[in-house]
Amino acid sequence: MQAQQAACRLQVQAMAPAFATGAAAWAERLGLPLYTGEAELALQVGERGLQLQQLGPQAPGPVRVDFVEGGAAHRRQFGGGSGQMIAKAVGVQPGMRPTVLDATAGLGGDAFVLACLGCPLQLIERQPVVAALLEDGLARAAAHADTALIVARMQLRQGNAIELMARWEGTPPQVVYLDPMFPHRDKSALVKKDMRLFRPLVGDDHDAPALLRAALALASHRVVVKRPRKAPAIEGLKPGLVIEGKSSRYDVYPLKSLKPGG
């Protein structure tokens, strides 16, 4: 992972002198150099929190985690409720808000949707920079009245999900949710700026079959895998149910019936 970060020349940048201490702390924690003017990517520390910025004259805007405003706020207020595909896939129903482990948390968008619906979640993100962005977004949301109770349902851990699931302690989650990075070949699939920025850091999830096996060994009731609509299922056990949308689908691997009190 460090080699991937070095290859794209990622450095930590304070956006103003007041944020120098914070930038130094993140740099030390992540094992990254402070900004020298030579970077292609900058993990920037500023008044809006932590953000990842591609540098250069044609660079898009920064990527940051914001659960308070923007798209997350719209989903929080006007989302599709338990009728959303992800809610159906995970098993949200009257009287049932399953415990969920999002083992490929990324920037936390899907987990936030489920937390808005009342599901208690544990999140794992293995890429340290992505986990840092998510941690920062959760901290800012925890300080805001509109989102504090929602993100209180989201507990983040940074590490390798396969290893963490294998040595899980305590009650297993009822549902394990996976959204592994798919090895896209078509450049049109990379239009989202977060995907363009993160692929050099994260790479493809070539260990997706092992991730699925670990999830199936841990979950008490079901495993849910989010995939591009036309992508093949992950190698291994075939899903028992497929919920398909316009651009994505959810492969569901039922292990035990999810029902209130069950």
89-107 pLDDT, tens digit per residue, is 999 999 999 999 999 999 9
Res 39: pLDDT: 87
Question: Among the listed ranges 88-92, 191-195, 205-209, which one has the minimum average pLDDT value?
Answer: 191-195
Which SS3 state, helix, strand or coil, does residue 52 take? strand
208, 221 contact by CB (below 8 A)? no
CA 163 from chain center: how many Å?
17
Nearest to 105 by CA among 4, 181, 210: 181
> Under a CB-based contact definition with an 8 Å cutoff, are residues 88 and 243 in contact?
yes
Distance CA 254, CA 219 (A): 10
Q: Tens digits of per-residue pLDDT, 4-19? A: 445 458 999 999 999 9
The answer to the question of whether 169 is labelled as a binding residue is no
Mean pLDDT of all residues in 240-260:
94
69 is in an annotated binding site: no
* Strand order through the sheet with 241-244: 154-158, 121-125, 100-102, 175-178, 222-228, 248-254, 241-244
Residue 190 pLDDT:
43
Residue 193 pLDDT more than 90? Answer: no
Instruction: Determine the 3-state secondary structure of 228 from DSSP.
Output: strand
Confidence of residue 82 (pLDDT cuts 50, 70, 90): confident
The per-residue pLDDT for 206 is: 75
Residue 179 known to bind ligand: yes
